[in-house]
Amino acid sequence: MSRSPSFSVKPEPNSKIDPESLSRWVAAFCIIRFDLEQGQLIEECFPPGCFTQDEELEISFSSFPDSVSQHHNRSSIHDCIFFFRFRRRDNSQLTNVSSSEIVEVDDKEAFPKSVDGNFQQKLNNGNGSRYLYGFVFNRQRHDERLKRGGEQKSVVILSHSPYSSVFRPLLQIMGPLYFDIGKKALEYIAAYVSMWPAPIPGKLMDLPIGNATLKVNLPPAHSLPLDSGILFEESVSSMAPFLPTNQSVPQGLFHDSDLFGIFRGLLLQLWVLWELLLIGEPILIIAPTPPQCCEAVAGLVSLVAPLLCSVDFRPYFTIHDPEFAHLNSLQEGDTFPPVVLGVTNLFFLKALRNIPHIVSVGSPALNSSRLALAPRASTGRTSARPEGFGLQNISLKKFSPSSLLNAVKLRRDGPLSLMTEHKEAIWSTYAAIMKPDTSILNRLIDAGMSPRVEESMSVVNNEILRRHFLELTTNFLAPFGSYFRATTPSEGSSPFVDPPPLPSFNADEFLGSLSARGPGKFLSKRMRSNWLDLYRRFLKGHNFMPWFQRRQAVVVQEQHRLWRQARMKTDIQQFISKMPELEIVDSFNAIERHLLGEMQSGRANADSEATCQKLKGDLQAVFNVLPRDMQQLLLMNPQKAALLQGSPELVYSTSPR
């Protein structure tokens, strides 16, 4: 595949690359070659020295399609794009946590009575990145004159952030550019990326690259893991369980994934998959090619938006991953960690035969040199006009006698039947609580075999599905809303006291209250009678605690902002005019505490300076109405004296108070 003729590199890109600006988007660019004698080798890495030797090895193994999974392709050149995610090994604090360590939530004591201080600190200060994402442009060139009949190379972008909407189109430029001009492409692209503005989550951004511009929507801040190494301002109104004000803005990770295309053969099972990910069940997704298994994992993660997905997910997982050894050692009866694995190697069917849920998606690779970005399934039927891909078509396909026999045979043979022939299917003993919404399925459009129409219809279908599951997840989380309400000072009360703590969570009380009032109109017609079990499983699963704590931490910050705003608007003279002496002293101490907090916050901006000036004035005003002996006592404290002397003028009151 060659570069688009409309793209060209500016002759003199900014030769001075700012490493800090580059690192906001990209950790490194790598060129990896498959050497017949030595295996996978990193030929180039820019900037150099970014990874440990073990990390380089893991990146190398993850950057090539699994040979066992590939069907022979006689095309001279075959390009594909996929991505992987791996755990960093150089952060001692974080990497001590194995993926096998599941946070069990068995009783009410496991729930926070208030926001965890460590969690709040993490939200405020950030942390080292726990995972890295690798976005791969892989080229396989088949040439009978070469040893083993061909060669492979991969161009890889490593990032701390899961910005698939940025890096996949960037690879479509960078990959072919590298094969045109060589390693200079890395520095060219790095120069452009380092000139990009800082990422703004949840916003549409224009990112220039050469004479082209990438127009991309970034996922919102509340969907990004805290360990990404980058922190953003999070909005209370945009986070679940409240419906977003603008539903055209992405509400979760991988909003660009082709949900309809990859799960086209399993549309009726999407609600089961949504439940499994919601409650943090381990899932193995197997597909014929890396792009297809990546698309399936990304699509599955996008289903639970706007919930923060805390389940470990690996879009492309190989037997060379260091964590495979642990997973392979699990025996029947052992508990699998909450993880979603995307694989292409059929060996996993035997190695992980005890994993409780297996999903087979996609179709074997076609004889084509077209760049594989996302699967595009076909019904094998042409049509003069778009038809509804709805209940009628699905029902006929699903419940015909031959389909029924095939389904029985698939269940009987189990997932090992994929060793002989690839089929789209799900193997799971999980009894779903959510019913498939047939009205949504009836709205989907089947475009037949025309690739251009197929792609545009996929966009429409993805929008229909994503909006439905966004509404489904938001309504499921709605009962938790009372735990995330920020308060403001009531009329006549002091804004200088500490705001009340958020309600503490008790699992038994929550479930009892929910059982009495029901799940709400939207969910009640879509859930079976045992709907409360889904909430029980969610509370014990891997997604609840991180989402709940982070949600409360954001609300605490919002509450702090509201009370700070109220203090700025308070007329201190009027406020203290009718106060008894004891309350005035308390107000002095409270204002002093807020002033010190503002001064020590490290915020050096006009807003913080104005707040400090207002609080200093309020402190002086309260000081002025205190009895003289109390004033002298306060001035004996050096810290208090310094704060007061920083005010414009000290005035000693002669009031008999």
Collapsing DSSP to helix, strand or coil, 332 comes out as coil
Q: How confident is the model at residue 74 (pLDDT cuts 50, 70, 90)?
A: low
Mean pLDDT lowest for which of 28-32, 146-150, 260-264?
Answer: 146-150
At 379, which amino acid appears?
T
What is the average pLDDT value for the chain, to the nearest integer?
A: 80
Collapsing DSSP to helix, strand or coil, 40 comes out as strand
pLDDT tens, 597-638?
A: 888 876 767 788 888 888 888 888 888 888 888 888 888 888
* CA distance readout (Å), 648 to 238, 591, 598, 630, 643: 42, 17, 19, 20, 11
Q: How confident is the model at residue 136 (pLDDT cuts 50, 70, 90)?
A: very high
Asked if pLDDT for residue 414 goes beyond 90, the answer is no
CATH code at 19-89+129-225: 3.30.450.200
Instruction: Look at 622 and 232; give whichever has higher pLDDT.
Output: 622
- In 3-state terms the chain splits into helix, strand, coil percentages (rounded to 5) of 45, 15, 40
Residue with tokens 């108070």: 657
Q: How confident is the model at residue 651 (pLDDT cuts 50, 70, 90)?
A: very low
Q: How confident is the model at residue 653 (pLDDT cuts 50, 70, 90)?
A: very low
- The pLDDT of residue 399 is 47
Average pLDDT over residues 625-654: 71
- The pLDDT of residue 93 is 37
Asked if pLDDT for residue 121 goes beyond 60, the answer is no
pLDDT tens, 491-509?
A: 778 888 888 899 999 999 9
Cα 170 to Cα 156: distance, rounded to the nearest angstrom: 11
- The pLDDT of residue 219 is 92
Query: Is 19-89+129-225's fold the same as 250-364+392-570's?
Result: no
Cα 239 to Cα 34: distance, rounded to the nearest angstrom: 44
Residue with tokens 């251009």: 452
- The pLDDT of residue 607 is 80
Q: How confident is the model at residue 272 (pLDDT cuts 50, 70, 90)?
A: very high
Asked if pLDDT for residue 265 goes beyond 50, the answer is yes
Asked if pLDDT for residue 118 goes beyond 80, the answer is no
Residue with tokens 């699903």: 398
pLDDT tens, 363-375?
A: 886 444 345 544 4
Residues 6+ apart with CB under 8 A from 612: 595, 598, 599
- The pLDDT of residue 585 is 85
- The pTM of this model reads 0.82
Please report, in angstroms and rounded to a whole number, the separation of the first and last CA atoms in the chain: 86
- The pLDDT of residue 540 is 96
Average pLDDT over residues 154-162: 95
List the structure tokens of 241.
């369980």
Residues 6+ apart with CB under 8 A from 656: 627
- The pLDDT of residue 410 is 72
Query: Can you say whether the dihedral through the CA atoms of 189, 191, 197, 198 is positive or negative?
Result: positive
Q: How confident is the model at residue 539 (pLDDT cuts 50, 70, 90)?
A: very high
Asked if pLDDT for residue 89 goes beyond 70, the answer is yes
Mean pLDDT lowest for which of 93-97, 391-395, 432-436, 473-477?
Answer: 93-97
Using alpha carbons only, how large is the chain's radius of gyration in Å?
Answer: 29
Show me where the domains of the chain are located.
19-89+129-225, 250-364+392-570, 571-647
Asked if pLDDT for residue 125 goes beyond 50, the answer is no
Average pLDDT over residues 85-94: 65
Residue with tokens 């038994």: 508
Give percent of the chain above pLDDT 90: 43
Instruction: Look at 15 and 281; give whichever has higher pLDDT.
Output: 281
- The pLDDT of residue 571 is 85
Instruction: Look at 533 and 5; give whichever has higher pLDDT.
Output: 533
Collapsing DSSP to helix, strand or coil, 154 comes out as strand
Average pLDDT over residues 435-447: 87
CATH 3.40.50.300 fits 250-364+392-570, yes or no: no
Query: Can you say whether the dihedral through the CA atoms of 265, 268, 270, 272 is positive or negative?
Result: negative
- The pLDDT of residue 94 is 35
pLDDT tens, 325-351?
A: 999 998 888 889 999 999 999 999 999
Q: Are 351 and 326 contacting, i.e. CB atoms less than 8 angstroms apart?
A: no
- The pLDDT of residue 260 is 93
Q: How confident is the model at residue 412 (pLDDT cuts 50, 70, 90)?
A: confident
Cα 143 to Cα 77: distance, rounded to the nearest angstrom: 9
Q: How confident is the model at residue 122 (pLDDT cuts 50, 70, 90)?
A: very low
Instruction: Look at 272 and 202; give whichever has higher pLDDT.
Output: 272
Q: How confident is the model at residue 149 (pLDDT cuts 50, 70, 90)?
A: low
- The pLDDT of residue 119 is 46
> Hey, which of 130-134, 232-236, 313-317, 570-574 has the most confident mean pLDDT?
313-317
Q: Are 361 and 263 contacting, i.e. CB atoms less than 8 angstroms apart?
A: yes
Residue with tokens 């599905």: 465
Asked if pLDDT for residue 247 goes beyond 60, the answer is no
Q: How confident is the model at residue 416 (pLDDT cuts 50, 70, 90)?
A: confident
- The pLDDT of residue 224 is 87
